[in-house]
Structure 1
Amino acid sequence: MSDVGLFGPDSVTWRVHREPIVTVGGLRSLYLQALLPRAVAGVEQNSRYRKDPWGRFQHTATYVATVIYGTTEQAERAGRRVRAIHAKMTATDPRTGERFRVDDPDLLRWVHVTEVESFMESALRGGLRLTGDEIDGYYAEQTRAAALVGLDPATVPASAAEVASYYERMRPELALTVDSAATGLFLTLPPLPYGLGLTPVRGAALGVAALAIGLLPTWARRLYGLPGLPATDLITSANALVLGRMLSAIPIEWISPLRRAAVRRIAASEAPSA
């Protein structure tokens, strides 16, 4: 039998991540992550994302795809690499002057939860139909991904209710700082390569950013100083559903070479031997 990796084709994880709209969820998660002052300070003081945002995006997308579709060894190797990088990094809390480690479990947990919840939210608003048990199954499966970056799976929310409770506990710690405001602006208007910023691509990129912002929880939009009106949620849901249905017509194997390789690997292992 071929190694199907951490999840496999029968998992909820594969169902969620076959929806191309989860890319918008990835952007949404960055807006959320920037609202935790220490998290955004750690990024601002250690990352080169402003100089090479698209390279950073590609590295992150490859990591996520490797964790989901790679073999167990490939996923674990990717996790070891991330842990080794984080272990070398520290940052200074701009509010207190305290030095902290970037691999602090509280920070890693925030990044993990905002990421997987954003993937789920974008997939659901984009038209994916899942039962409550399946949604909980996704969060439970994703504790395996959390373990790769150094988290104890037992400390990671493993259901929709636990994710909601986690957000409630974290909200008093969230704030719009100078760093988070600058990051939010950068995410909304990033530099585009090859002179594309002077073409209609700029409008399309701005539309994607607007959708990601609209998908944020009401409390997160208000922290950014944006309207948290019910109409925003209704309009965003309608736009997400249209985009989700349009993108779902694209074969995911065209978008994700790692998924294509995983499907071929599994199919080859199940083929009858001569």
Structure 2
Amino acid sequence: MRRNPRNRPVEAEDIVSEALTLAGGGRALLLQIANPAVGWGVAEHSDFASRLMDRFDGTMLYLTATMFGSPAERAAMRRVVNRAHAPVRAEGTPGGPAYNAYDPELQLWVAATLYQTVMDLHRRVFGPLTPAQEDRAYDELSRALSNLQLTPDRWPSGRLAFDTYWERMVASLRVDDDVRAVSRQILFPRRVPWWLRPTLPLVRLVTGGLLPGPVRQEFGIAWDDRRQRRFDRAIRWTAAVYPRLPLRLRHLPRERYRAKLRRAVRADHVGGGAPRPSGER
């Protein structure tokens, strides 16, 4: 692993290993459901209100399997997700779009939000990578995130092409009342551990600040100069402190989920009791 003197991750695996990636979870999820087809599937088949932490846990377990799991662990998680996706489909109606969780284009959007969020956070806290490092990270992450029905050839052919795809997709995002109600369950969860509750205002601030402005408006997230200044201060503080933390501390969440993944597969819980990806019952 090649790092600079500030323990900066520059390889895709190292970037995703950082606890910093957890800070982008809300942002990625809101971007995902702002795609009308994804949003309607989640609105019809999710239970965020009662199981937000389980949903988050399941998503992180799947991402861990994708990036760090053995072939057997990745295969097990693919089976879990495919089973969960099976009922998530509907024909289009006058009130809403068609959706199908097996649609590779929708899976591309979900994967794209993960890639773009991880890289956006990395730039904000560590500064920009070199163009060669950016290209290598895109190639590695797009391959790693090509799972289920999504194959690597469906990704835009290179980082610049991805940027064009990203701008086009963000401009097409729309949020209706049903999806907006799901977003409130995510931003203002009712059932979270007591020790997490004091952090929720900061989580909402960071999530709102990381979203593109038009998407923030679609969700009706209040934003003004004062909130922007608070968000900017939070990012500056994180950039000053986080890179200097010990690597073992920065990698604790990764190690936790790797251990959890191994236990789930070893105990044959993946097919039954393991957490499921967010958005599925």
TM range (shorter): 0.7 to 0.9
Does the 8 Å contact 2:125/2:235 carry over to 1? yes
Does structure 1 conserve the Cα–Cα contact (< 8 Å) formed by 2:37 and 2:97?
no
Segments of structure 2 that go 5 or more residues without pairing to the other structure are: 1-8, 260-281
How many angstroms apart in 2 are the aligned matches of 1:173 and 1:216? 14
The one-character-per-residue Cα deviations of 1:117-169 (angstroms, maximum 9, x if unpaired) are 11111122122552222222222112223321211211113544223211232
Contact 1:42-1:102 at 8 Å conserved across structures: yes
Among 247, 252, 255, the alignment partner of 2:253 is 255
Aligned partner of 1:66 in structure 2 is 65
Give the corresponding residue for 2:138: 139
The number of equivalent residue pairs is 248
Moved more, 121-130 or 209-218: 121-130
Matched residue, 1:216:
211
- Percent identity of the aligned residues? 23
Determine helix, strand or coil for the equivalent of 1:256: helix
Relative distance call for 1:100 and 1:36 in structure 2 (3 A) is closer
CA distance in 1, matches of 2:181, 2:98: 22
Does the CA contact (< 8 Å) of 2:37 and 2:98 recur in 1? no
Distance 1:121 1:11, change over 3 A: closer
Change (3 A) 1:260 1:244: farther
What is the distance in 2 between the residues matched to 1:76 and 1:11? 28
RMSD: 2.9
1:257 shift after superposition: 2.1
The aligned residue for residue 264 of structure 2 is: none
| Deviation of the 1:238 alpha carbon | 3.8
Deviation at 1:60, TM superposition (A): 0.8
- Mark the CA change 1:158 to 1:137 in structure 2 (over 3 Å): closer, same or farther: farther
Equivalent positions of 1:1-274 (< 5 A) are: 12-91=11-90, 93=92, 95-96=94-95, 99-127=98-126, 129-157=128-156, 159-194=158-193, 196=194, 201-226=196-221, 236-248=231-243, 249=245, 251-257=249-255
Letter in 1 for 2:61: T
Counterparts of 2:109 and 2:251 in 1: how far apart (Å)? 30
- Classify 1:46/1:71 alpha carbon distance in 2 versus 1 (closer, same or farther; 3 Å): same
Pair 158,138 (structure 1): closer, same or farther in 2 beyond 3 Å: farther
Q: Which has the higher contact order (CA 8 A, sep 6+)?
A: 2
**d(CA) in 1 for partners of 2:85 and 2:92?**
17
Helix, strand or coil at the partner of 2:117: helix
Distance 1:22 1:12, change over 3 A: same
Which ranges in structure 1 are unaligned for 5 or more consecutive residues? 1-9, 262-274
Given residue 17 of structure 2, which amino acid in structure 1 is its aligned partner?
Answer: R
Compute the TM-score of the two structures, normalised by the length of structure 2: 0.75
Q: Provide the C-alpha distance between the structure 1 equivalents of 2:156 and 2:232, rounded to a whole number of angstroms.
A: 25
Give SS of 1:148's match. coil
CA distance in 2, matches of 1:156, 1:126: 26
Change (3 A) 1:20 1:13: same
Q: TM-score, normalised by structure 1?
A: 0.77
Q: What is the CA–CA distance in structure 1 between the aligned matches of 2:98 and 2:70, rounded to whole Å? A: 37
Q: Deviations 1:48-67 (Å, cap 9, x if unpaired)?
A: 22221101111111111121
